[in-house]
Amino acid sequence: MNIIVTENFAKTCELAAKMIGDVIRNKPDARLGLATGSTAQGVYPYLVAANKAGKLDFSRVNTVNLDEYVGLPADHPQSYRRFMDENLFNHINIDKKNTVVAKGTGDIDANVAAFREAIAEKPIDVQLLGIGVDGHVGFNEPGVVLYDGAHVEELDESTIDANARFFADRSEVPTKAISMGMGDILRAKKLLLLATGENKAEAMKGLLLNEELDVQNPATLVKTHPDVTVIIDRALADCIGYQA
């Protein structure tokens, strides 16, 4: 793993955006694997700014997102489709037909099947990842069994707690999500995992401080990937006692 410690979260996001930009500049029809959440949200303004400055062209780029809540229509303020539109797609020259976010309402089995087909269409050149407080990536929650392909995941109580901040009430947080599987994530050509904040310390210790692959901390599986970059800020590095 290539582990980079930055001065602060803004620098983490700037660097991640530069790395994603480099992938696109080298391959204008790249497929990006994208993520939601506050961490990924910090990256998108840099991609928007590069696009607006004429330095990054998304006209041939194709994207696929990690996950979507089950039960939220695409236009729900907290759906991940809406998150992506508002944080990135509405502000860049991407054709939305080239953006895949699983559909969270209607026939869920059919939506999972369609999502699996969309994932299989084209390899992901770079997959952006955040990490859950419990070590989830995408919505692959800790458990004795992790899944290879896209599936419906029951969200852990800690995940519902963490994501409740986006909803008026905790009871409104969906309890299930459609997620790419661990295999889908690990098949991306390049992984870019970002983390910030003390609440990620336990999960990040498992990722950075030992060689264990721990199904109770799904992010640890990225250690097996041949091209993974992890970017954290100095505050988180100090918090977990990570030394470069």
Q: Are 158 and 133 in contact (CB under 8 A)?
A: yes
- Across 62-124, the runs of DSSP E, i.e. the strands, are 62-65, 67-69, 99-100
Nearer to ligand GLP, 97 or 165 (CB): 165
* 238 assigned to active site: no
Among candidate residues 68, 134, 153, 184, the one labeled active-site is 134
Nearer to ligand GLP, 27 or 183 (CB): 183
Smallest distance from ligand GLP to CB 35, Å: 5
Among candidate residues 68, 136, 153, 233, the one labeled active-site is 136
Smallest distance from ligand GLP to CB 167, Å: 12
What is the identity of the amino acid at 195?
A: A
Angle at the Cα of 69 (from 67 to 70), degrees rounded to 5? 120
* 134 assigned to active site: yes
HSE-up of residue 86 (Cα within 13 Å, Cβ side): 13
CB atoms within 10 A of CB 114: 16
* 67 assigned to active site: yes
Token readout for 40 is 């990924």
Closest CB to ligand GLP belongs to which residue?
130
Smallest distance from ligand GLP to CB 105, Å: 18
Among candidate residues 14, 107, 125, 141, the one labeled active-site is 141
Instruction: Provide the annotated active-site residues.
Output: 67, 134, 136, 141
